[in-house]
Structure 1
Amino acid sequence: MKILIVGAGEVGFHIASRLATENKDVVVIDKDPKALKRVSEQLDVQVFEGSGSSPEVLREAGISQSDILLAVTDSDETNLVSCLVCDLLSPATRKLIRIRDSDYTDFTDRLRDDPPHIDTVINPEVELVRTVQRLLEVPGAEDVAEFSGGAIKLIGVRLDELSPLSNMRLTKLREVTGDFHLLIAAIVRDEELIIPTGRDSLVPGDLVYFVTDDANLHTALKLFGKESRPVKRAFIVGGGRIGMRLARALAQNGVYVKIVEDDPQRCNRLAEALNNVVVLNGDGTDQGLLAEENIEDMDVVITVTGDEETNILTSLLAKRMGVPIAVTRINKFGYFPLTTAIGIEHVISSRLSAINTILGHVRRGKVLSSVSLKGERAEVLEAEALETAEIVGKPLKSISFPKGALVISIIRDNEVIIPKGDSVIQPADRIILLCSQQAIPKIEKAMAVKLEFF
């Protein structure tokens, strides 16, 4: 598979990094020689200096031999022209585009059906709002991913000493869960990913990922000592486009929302655009303002300004003043490993949301969606099992999956099955697999060749 990436910024760089580790043929195009130098020095990919909207540049970079074009620059207009030129030069190439300006939202269907015939339009701000909404549906979780239209949830929770699962060997899990079958999909311990076996134990401080459906979510959370009470009051810091989208979405779901913004003109626009939202003009890092607005009565504070340092400081201050949950927007990937150490548990990133969505559309075979786990150490794939696949009709315990891969759920005729060793996959089942980064190339190849693991 050959993939052309237009844009060597953070999104382009990290997508190229992920795809390069999977032995794909990747070409990165950008006008900025400094950005290309970073790519060429750190990644095993080709680079091409020039405008990704130039027909000559795209032709010389090999657009006619490319399976996918990813247009992910910071300019919506450049991305749109790149796709239009690609449609003229190589109509068979799939086109994925990142668009941030909400003015284009109403034209998404037209962009697919008419030139430039874009296959997938991704708005990172929309994806980020969805990420926040998923987190707030499960307030005790640090990470939430949904599959099969929300029927399956992969939940990441921090294990504390009071949980009945603390210090338990997984072979004894059924003694605690009884008839309720709980599948532990992954453990993150000391920044290392563990895909567990029965010999592993759960240790206080672990970030534990488990699989459940909506009906059993409350039961599963109770085992970890977590509550699933809904968020009713939210305090948003930052009234930019993301803050406005988020405030509108939460208010429409019945959440009482306050939003603070330091730009008076922006506050006027927020007040005009938002119904049932309290708009405040001020500094979100002002302890006096937070105290005056009774921040301790809020269920959650969500910091989404364009400045990571402001978001981090505001979140820490709000938690110190009594807010139980702080959701912090961070776009610099270098900050991610530090967040847990300084007390930031819920991290969101528009760039990471965009990357997750894009990766779900570039996978080969019958892959329907893809989500990266915290820290991008692993990926969860949702795929369709083909009738001729080797894994169909056999108990899972008799199948030699690649090391670092685990089937964590099966969906059959709208029924959610948490798999056991004797579970059997049938044709047309949707299967959800957790894969370490090292296992992804083999799993993806298996998807493309009818899931034949042998």
Structure 2
Amino acid sequence: MYIIIIGCGKVGLSLAEQLSDENHDITLVDSSADKLQNLSDDLDVMKILGNGASISTLQDAGIERADILIAVTGSDELNLLCCLIAKKAGHVSTIARVRNPIYNQEIDFIRESIGLSMIINPELAAATEISRILRFPSAIKIDTFAKGRAELLKFKLKPEFRLGGNRIMDIMDRYHCDILFCSAERDKTVYIPDGNFILQDGDLISIIATPTNAADFFRKVGLKTNQVKNTMIVGGGTIAYYLAKQLQDMKIRVRIIELNRARCEHLSKILPDVTVINGDGTNRDLLMQEGLPHAESFVSLTNMDEENIFLSLFAEQQTEGLKTVTKVNRVAYTEIIDRLDIGSVIYPKYITADYILQYVRAMQNSIGSNVETLYQILDNKAEALEFAVHETSGVTNIPLSELNLKKNLLIGCISRGGNTWIPRGGDRIQVGDRVIVVTTQLGLNDLKDILRK
């Protein structure tokens, strides 16, 4: 497909890289000549200097033949204007990044009025992911499928779990839990394990299960399954606002430490039940004075990655059993960050890209089986996808054990008529099902793509 991306910031560049890797024809538009000139020569995209809301700029970019326009500049209003003009100029699907909480209550009206295909709010999406983690603090990361009826949970295997050195089939026999071990990461290598795979302490493990079955398994191996009762947030930006709102609904007590006094006063007005402290969140004495030793979770959301990482490392040393969540914007040093073992790390850029890639994949095949949900997992070395099955095909009404599946691919879960389960060899996929697939075979667009050619 031909895709125009307006805005050459972190998100725009990340999208251009990933969509180009999936063999889409990409044009990047930005008003900054320096940003365009600094793009890597390895990035196979067309570059256009100009205002993405200008009809002449859009015509230069080929709006009349574009399939999708994605507006991810730093201005919500400019993004919406770009999409509005693009809809008038061509037959194109439009996606806008809209971040300001002021527009959050009006999202449906804005989408319908302008005719947007999708609105992305990275800060709200990041806050939602953090709130899921604080509900189930033993997991490093939680992704949801089938409208919350199935979850993909990532956790680190520790010696106290007594799972290292055991085959997966033996663990399943011991605990009798309806879960599926769907991936393991060890020494930079990703495995899609079978029953004979032997787990080792230190592995990063992902399982698929219903929320109830996941909690049952974690409880049996000795991991904490109850949500935290309180949290301390350093940084009072937009993510902190959205997160505090969600945590209040979960009855979790929230304290926000923010340096900017005017921002503190604003947060106090719009979050009357949240304790807002005006102060430097990197000040050790302030953190201790405001209750860090008694906190059950700590979320670092400043605008500096280095500060966030440092704060999480410090907090973990002060409070035993503390759940830490760290926001990181730059993704160039993920391998170093992973070695620091600072609990859950949130990359808002990745979350935004996942939503948009999901939409692009669904557009490529909107008849057979839509890509309903897509998550890039294990540092983008694997994907977890949810397909909605709309018609009979080569994968339906056949026992799973008889399907000629691609290597390094698991059918992780089937959801049908409100019931969700881990399938076995005798189960069959039917029209109307939602099917979750985990694989290192990147770029699947249709459920039929799980079969070998």
Classify the TM-score, shorter chain. Answer: over 0.9
**Length, aligned pairs only:** 446
Note the alpha carbon deviations across 1:248-288, whole angstroms, 9 max, x for none.
32123211111111122222222222122111121112111
TM-score w.r.t. length of structure 1: 0.93
Partner of 1:108: 107
CA distance in 1: counterparts of 2:319 and 2:67, whole angstroms: 51
Distance 2:247 2:195 in 1: 41
- CA distance in structure 2 between the aligned counterparts of 1:119 and 1:152, rounded to whole angstroms: 26
Amino acid at match of 1:330: V
> How far apart, CA to CA, are the structure 2 residues paired with 1:296 and 1:269?
27
Alignment of 1:173-192 (within 5 A): 173-178=171-176, 180-192=177-189
Letter in 2 for 1:99: V
Q: Could you tell me whether the CA contact under 8 Å between 1:8 and 1:35 is conserved in 2? A: yes
The aligned runs of 1:388-407 (5 Å cut-off) are: 388-407=392-411
Q: 2:375: which partner in 1?
A: 371
Shift of 1:386: 3.1
2:106 alignment partner AA: F
Partner residue, 2:125: 127
Equivalent position of 1:424 in the other structure: 428
Q: Distance in 2 between matches of 1:307 and 1:39?
A: 23
1:425 aligned counterpart, secondary structure: coil
Per-residue displacement from partner, 1:323-353 (whole Å, max 9, x unpaired)? Answer: 5111111101113222222232211122222
* Gap change, CA 1:102 and 1:174, over 3 Å in 2: closer
Tell me how far 1:96 sits from its aligned partner.
0.7
**Are 2:442 and 1:440 aligned?**
yes
> For 1:451 and 1:207, how far apart are their aligned partners in 2?
24
CA drift of 1:452 comes to 6.9
Contact 2:406 2:451 in 1 (8 A): no
Cα distance change of structure 1 residues 161 and 452 upon mapping to structure 2, 3 Å threshold:
closer
Q: Is the 8 A contact 2:138 2:225 kept in 1?
A: yes
Aligned in 2, Cα 1:414/1:289: closer, same or farther, shift over 3 Å?
Answer: same
User: Relative to structure 2, which stretch is displaced further, 360-369 or 206-215?
Assistant: 360-369
Change in CA separation of 1:451 and 1:98 when aligned onto 2, cut-off 3 Å? same
The alignment yields a C-alpha RMSD, in angstroms, of 1.9
1:51 and 1:401, CA in 2 relative to 1: closer, same or farther beyond 3 A? farther
**Per-residue deviation, residues 370-417 of structure 1 (Å, max 9, x unmatched):** 112142222211111233211001111221223333211100111112
Match runs of 1:332-347 below 5 Å:
332-347=330-345
- Residue 150 (structure 1) shift: 0.7
In structure 1, the residue corresponding to 2:332 is in which secondary structure?
A: helix
Are 1:385 and 1:451, in contact at CA under 8 Å, matched by a contact in 2? no
CA contact (8 A) 1:72 1:79 kept: yes
* Gap change, CA 1:452 and 1:186, over 3 Å in 2: closer
Q: Whole-Å Cα distance in 1 between the matches of residues 194 and 23 of structure 2?
A: 28
Matches within 5 A, 1:261-272: 261-272=258-269
**Partner secondary structure for residue 243 of structure 1:** helix
Output the CA distance in 1 between the equivalents of 2:408 and 2:38.
30
- Mapped to 2, the partners of 1:373 and 1:254 lie a distance apart of 30
Structure 2 CA distance, aligned partners of 1:245 and 1:394? 45
Q: Which amino acid aligns with 1:390?
A: G
Structure 1 partner of 2:241: 244
2:383 partner SS: strand
Give the letter for the 1:370 counterpart: L
Shift, 1:431, TM fit: 0.5
Q: Is the 8 A contact 1:4 1:27 kept in 2?
A: yes
- Matched to 2:152, the amino acid is L
1:350 to 330, 348, 351: 348
The normalised TM-score by structure 2 is 0.93
What are structure 2's unaligned runs of at least 5 residues? none
Distance 1:407 1:223, change over 3 A: same
Q: Partner of 1:55 in structure 2?
A: 55
When residues 15 and 223 of structure 1 are mapped into structure 2, their CA distance, relative to the original with a 3 A threshold, is: farther
TM-aligned CA deviation for residue 149 of structure 1? 1.1
Residue 382 of structure 1 is matched in structure 2 by 386
Q: Return the offset for 1:206.
A: 0.7
CA distance in 1, matches of 2:306, 2:190: 27
Moved more, 422-431 or 215-224: 215-224
2:203 to 189, 203, 206: 206
